[in-house]
Amino acid sequence: MARALRRAFCAAVVLLLSVGVANAEAVRDLNARTLPGGGAVLPLELFPGNSTRLPVSAVRRQLHGHPTSSAHMRLYDDLLTNGYYTTRLWIGTPPQEFALIVDSGSTVTYVPCSTCEQCGNHQDPRFQPDASSTYQPVKCNTACTCDNDKQQCTYERQYAEMSSSSGVLGEDIVSFGDESALKPQKAVFGCENVETGDLFSQHADGIMGLGRGQLSIMDQLVEKGVISDSFSLCYGGMDIGGGAMVLGGISPPPDMVFSRSDPVRSPYYNIELKDLRVSGKSLGLNPKVFDSKHGTVLDSGTTYAYLPEEAFVALRNAITSKLHPLKQIRGPDPNYNDICFSGAGNDASQLSKHFPEVEMVFGNGQKLQLSPENYLFRHSKVHGAYCLGIFQNGKDPTTLLGGIIVRNTLVTYDRQNQKIGFWKTNCSQLWEGLKGHDAPSPAPSVSDNQTSTDGVSPAASPSALLDYTLPGQFQVGLITFDMSLNVSHLDLLPHIKELTELIGHELEVDAHQVHLMNYTSKGNSTLLKWGIFPAGPADIFSKTTALGIISRLEGRLRLPENYGSYQLVEWKVEPPLRRTWLQQHLWAVILGISVVVLLAFATLLVWYFWRHKSGGLVTYRPLGAPVPEQELQPL
C-alpha cells in the first residue's frame, strides 16, 4: 500500500458512512489506520522482548484476582513493517480462523464473506456463513439500514484515504483462542461484500473494532456482562513485533501513569496532553494546542504520530538540536521530506546515547517517558540510520498518536473509569507471562537506560531461541524459510537477484549462501522458498551461527516498501545431506583430472615441437661430393 496514502489518511479525520445498527456510532470510526507501505506481512509470531519495569508475574496475579473473565490474546506482525498488529479470532461452528487488525479507532468487526463480489486476496479463506451451524443474519428492523431485499441489516465504512468496507451484519459464535479464559460468545459482526483501496490490498483479513459503539466487540462483551469495561494493548519494540492484548480488566501496576479520557469530549479514545519535554526542557507551548478539534487521540490502528503544526515544528527543532554528532540524510522515500540521521549504529538498545528522551506531560501532572524507539523508525535503505516518526498533521489541529508512541508500553483503556494508563514493560514477553502463573520477569527494554546483564537481545525470540535449543548431536546443514510476498511473480522475478542480496544483508550472510529453491504463484501474491547454505566448502553451520541467523530471521528481517507486504510463514533447520564418496571428494577428483589433462597436453606439445624440429634438419655435404643419381620419371 502506498506510503502516501498512509500519511494522507493518518493525518485526516475519517469520512464515515454508517449503515445499519451502527448509525449512532458511525462518526466514531476515526480509524486513521496506517496499513503497510512497504513491507510485507510477517505473521511469524514475533514475541521476543526488549523492555521492562515490573515483573510480569505481578500482572498475572492481578489478572487472576479480577472477579470477571478476560480474553488473553496474542498479537502478531510488526507495526512499521506491516503497518498494523493483528490478532486471531475464530467465528462460527466449526470455527473459521481470521487475522484481524487490532483497531481502537473502529467500531465494527468485519471479515470478507464468501459472497463478496469485490474482495482482495487475504491471509485466510473467506467466511462461509453456510458452513457455520450457528450463523444467523441480523434481520432487517427499524434500528438499522436494510439491504435491497429488506431482509438483512447492512453496514458501511468509508475512510479518509477512500478505502471502504460494506456488507451485511450477521451474528455467530466468536472464539478468542484456546489460551483465553473467556468462553466463546455470540457477537454481531460484518460480513463484507465489497472492499476497496487499502482494505482490498492488505494481507490481513479484516478489522477488529475496539472503539466505542454498539457494534464494537468490546461493547457487546461488556453488555453481556462477561468482561469488565476495559481492555489493554501492548505492542512490541523497534526490532521485535508481536505483543499481547487483554479484553477485560486488569489491576494496574503500581507505577502505571494515567491520563483522563473523556468520552463526552470526543468519541475517540483521547487523553489530556498538556506539554512535551525534550531532555527535561518544556517546549513552552500553550496547552490548548493539544486540545483543538478532537483533542489528543490515541489510535492503535495508526502507525506514526501526527501533531498540529506549531507543536510539530517545536518538537522537531528541539530534537534535531540535540543531534550534532549525527549526519542528516535523505529519507527512504523521495516523495517525502523525512527527517533522518545516520551514524547511530544498528543496535536499538544504544539509541538513547544519540537521541534525547521525550516526555509527555498529562493534565494531572503525571509524565510518560518516550525513549527513542517511541518516536523513531529505521531507515529502510541506510543501515544505522533512523527517521523521525512524528509528522505534521497537515492543517488538521487534532493531535493523533499512533502505535509508535506506545511501543513496549502496556496501554490500559479503562473505559469504566474514563482513564487510560501507560506502563513501560516488555510487550513481546508479556504474552509469555500471561500464559503462566509463575512467569519470569520480562527482559530490559531498549528504552531502559540502565545497564543490565540480564537483557535479551532485541533480535532474540523466546519461541525460537530461549525455548529452542539444538540437540547436542544435531548438525544444521541447511536453514529454509517460506516467504509470501504480496507481489505477482511476473513483477517479482526481475528483482530476484536484488531480493537475494537484501536477504543476505539482513541475515548477515553472504549473498551466495542464499538460494531461491522454489516459488509458487497465487494470484497477486508469490510464495517463495529460500535456503541458507553454509559458507564456502563447509557442510554445516556452527550452532551459534545457526541460532544467530534464526534470530535475525524472526526478529528483524525487513524489506523495502517496493516489495509490498510480506509474510514470513515458517522456518526449518535441516541436517546436512548425506553425500556419496564422489560428492564428498568431487573437488579432489576434478583437481586430479585437471592435472592429468594438463600434463598430457604439455607432453603432446613437447613431442610435437621436437618432431618438427628434427624433421627439418638437412645433412651437410662438402662441395663436389658425389651424389646418387636419381632416375627421371617418364612424363
DSSP string of 402-413? -GGGGBTEEEEE
d(CA 410, CA 489): 40
Beta bridge partners of 422: 257, 411
Q: Is 255 a catalytic residue?
A: no
Given 172, 275, 299, 396, which residue is catalytic? 299
Radius of gyration of the CA atoms of the chain, in A: 32
Alpha helices in 246-387 (DSSP H): 309-320
Virtual torsion, Cα 19, 22, 27, 31, nearest 10 deg: -100
Cβ proximity of 292 and 309 under 8 Å: no
Residue found by looking up cell 486476496 in the block = 121
Measured CA distances, 275 to 45, 93, 288, 290, 449 (Å): 36, 50, 10, 8, 23
Give the helix/strand (H/E) hosting 569: strand 566-574
Residues 6 or more apart in contact with residue 413 via CB below 8 angstroms: 104, 210, 230, 231, 232, 233, 261, 269, 420
Burial 26-60 (b: 16+ CB within 10 A, else e): bbbbbbbbbbbbbbbbbbbbbbbbbbbbbbbbebb
Q: What value, to the nearest 5°, has the Cα angle with vertex 204 and ends 201 and 208?
A: 120
Virtual torsion, Cα 400, 402, 408, 409, nearest 10 deg: 40
- In single-letter form, the type of residue at position 556 comes to R
3-state class (DSSP) for residue 241: coil
Burial 497-532 (b: 16+ CB within 10 A, else e): eebbebbbebbebeeebbeeeebeeeeebbbbebbb
- In single-letter form, the type of residue at position 62 comes to Q
Q: Left (φ > 0), alpha (ψ -120 to 50) or beta: where does 457 sit?
A: beta
Q: What value, to the nearest 5°, has the Cα angle with vertex 353 and ends 377 and 363?
A: 70
DSSP string of 185-233? EEEEEEEEEEEETHHHH-SS-EEEE-SSSTTSHHHHHHHHTSS-SEEEE
Cβ proximity of 191 and 131 under 8 Å: no
3-state class (DSSP) for residue 532: strand
Alpha helices in 94-147 (DSSP H): none
Given 77, 78, 103, 198, which residue is catalytic? 103
Going by C-alpha positions, the residue among 2, 9, 1, 12 that lies closest to residue 396 is 12
- How big, in percent rounded to 5, are the helix, strand and coil portions of the chain? 25, 25, 50
Q: Does a cis peptide bond (omega within 30 degrees of 0) precede residue 356?
A: no
Tell me the three cell numbers of residue 452: 543490565
Cβ proximity of 196 and 120 under 8 Å: no
The residues that are catalytic are 103, 299
